[in-house]
Amino acid sequence: MATQTQWFFSRNGGNKVGPVTSRELKRLAATGQLTRTDRIQKIGMEKMVAASRLKGLFAKPADETEAKKP
């Protein structure tokens, strides 16, 4: 069985929470419990970064998706 990547996160500058799996992190983002400005850190990373930096974590905003239509 493959091991999932483990993440920590911090909401609004609060305490570090985790570890959680990539799947759980994506669920938190999808339900609004994790925002683009919250901080995340993968085990092995030196420091936390904005959650918005993780490609594919958040759905694209509707206006951005519409702008790309021909």
Q: For residue 4, what pLDDT is reported?
A: 81
Class of domain 6-54: alpha beta
Q: Does residue 63 carry a pLDDT above 60?
A: no
The CB density around residue 26, as the number of other CB atoms within 10 Å, is 17
Q: For residue 28, what pLDDT is reported?
A: 97
Q: For residue 64, what pLDDT is reported?
A: 52
Which secondary-structure segment (H or E) carries 64?
A: helix 62-67
Give the global pTM. 0.78
- Span 1-38, pLDDT tens digits: 556 889 999 998 899 999 999 999 999 999 999 999 99
